[in-house]
Chain A
């Protein structure tokens, strides 16, 4: 079975809903774990990595939580499939670039995904739609507890779980939420929010994590500190910060409607105009405009537009997903044309935005 037969198609995957998913697109908790006495992946020689993969892959596959699952060594996966996994936020860009000796195990719900020999021997993540960081922690905590019974994890009573990079030391936990913040961006208030989050020790990154731009007004907020606080304390702290950002976004949207409604309607109307009528469009422009369309749906300008549709288009118009829908190899220009064709077709059933009655 290949990954496309295994995973739910985007149209189905995007139907998944969760609490406050108008702003929180998804939640994730990942744990870093390593085996004792084994060199970390980036320092290990290929035979070491293969040996670790041989130990870890079956151990993860045998977990009842993972069933039914898809598992592969990274060198077995075509480059396009790896890119699709990145676009779906199941694996990191770094992991997609790995070759022999690295692997992955994903369950069918896409709620658990384990990367083997990424920066650490194990990077286990739990994912949920909407704001569900606690549920994510409980799920991944259970996976970790089940695995520690079979494996010898590197752990020190003083320093906790030992990781390749000291920035992950201790709990090895990274809690993150993907936030859609068009209101704060339009209100030009996003820098203040990012700075405030940074001051509290949280990182704010773009769509695909470290070193990426916030395309489509999507921001990833995550904890930076992993040592000196318990998992519960970190969840509590970042949960508070996230609630605050959600509230700020809601306020920003409200304020924009009250004070700058023409500007907001103009942005949304133009976004619809371009997406529904363009004949060539880049993925970057698409994401930024789809973000405005999503906002338009939430503000009541596009009553027939569902969130599932904007999220599906957000995914389907990304380069690898677009390529996957066509058999011939496409270059960037051809992709831009096919992307525009698809958007025109899919938006035909969505009437143009109307200013909601007051």
Chain B
């Protein structure tokens, strides 16, 4: 297999990147991989190597989003431009700051856009409690409607205790 860049030497570095259902593949020889900085994976972007076809696709994607370079994350000072450059966020609050344009990107990366996995135990408990209060409230409403005041009083006290 020959190097995609110089098309002379045998390719020794093989890169595959999958975005959604699109696969990008690059095969490089040792010299070209060094030149492109592939040996330092932290500073490397496949698109830089594949300037051309892939770069155009990326351009299309980014053009579709409005320029929001001025928005800054209040917690960490990260900007939309920083995200476009690095592909990573500055802190967990960035997901709120830059949340609006996120959905289309997440759709191409993941199976869905809603978390259905593990929930921290503390939250799970409060979620269960919230659910229970909701149910009690429903029963209370019904009891009041039926003028079943004894049960209603009990339910009201129980809700009070839980809150």
B13 interfacial contact with A, CB 8 Å: yes
Is B118 in contact with A141, judged by CB distance below 8 angstroms?
Answer: yes
Is A37 in contact with B92, judged by CB distance below 8 angstroms?
Answer: yes
Interchain residue pairs A-B with the least CB separation, the first 4 = A228-B112, A160-B115, A154-B92, A228-B111
Of A34, A39, A233, most B-chain CB atoms within 10 Å: A39
Of B18, B78, B88, B92, most A-chain CB atoms within 10 Å: B92
Nearest chain B CB to A311's CB is how many angstroms away?
Answer: 24
Nearest chain A CB to B103's CB is how many angstroms away?
Answer: 10
Q: How far is the CA of A322 from the CA of B38 in the complex (A)?
A: 25
Nearest chain B CB to A29's CB is how many angstroms away?
Answer: 12
Query: Which chain B residue has the least Cβ–Cβ distance from A229?
Result: B111
B149 interfacial contact with A, CB 8 Å: no
Chain A residues whose CB sits within 8 angstroms of the CB of B90 once the complex forms = 39-40, 43
Is A227 in contact with B115, judged by CB distance below 8 angstroms?
Answer: yes
Is A171 in contact with B118, judged by CB distance below 8 angstroms?
Answer: yes
Known: A39-B76, A40-B88. A228 touches B116 (CB 8 A): yes
Q: Which of A154, A170, A213 contacts B13 (CB 8 A)?
A: A213
Contact surface of A with B, Cβ cutoff 8 Å = 34-40, 42-43, 93-94, 97, 119, 141, 144-145, 148-149, 153-162, 164-167, 169-171, 173, 194, 198-199, 201, 203-206, 210-211, 213, 224-231, 233
Contact surface of B with A, Cβ cutoff 8 Å = 12-16, 18, 21, 23, 38, 41-42, 44, 75-76, 78, 82, 86-93, 95, 102, 105-106, 109-123
Task: Given contacts A40-B90, A145-B121, A148-B120, list 12 more A-B pairs with CB under 8 A.
Answer: A35-B92, A37-B91, A39-B91, A40-B89, A43-B82, A43-B89, A94-B42, A149-B122, A160-B118, A166-B87, A210-B41, A230-B118
Is A230 in contact with B123, judged by CB distance below 8 angstroms?
Answer: no
Chain B residues whose CB sits within 8 angstroms of the CB of A39 once the complex forms = 75-76, 90-91
Is A36 in contact with B92, judged by CB distance below 8 angstroms?
Answer: yes
Query: Which chain B residue has the least Cβ–Cβ distance from A97?
Result: B42
Known: A37-B75, A145-B121, A166-B102. A204 touches B16 (CB 8 A): yes
What are 20 A-B residue pairs whose CB atoms fall within 8 Å in the complex?
Answer: A93-B41, A155-B120, A155-B123, A157-B123, A160-B117, A166-B102, A166-B109, A169-B110, A170-B110, A170-B115, A198-B16, A205-B16, A213-B14, A224-B109, A225-B109, A227-B112, A228-B115, A229-B112, A230-B117, A231-B118
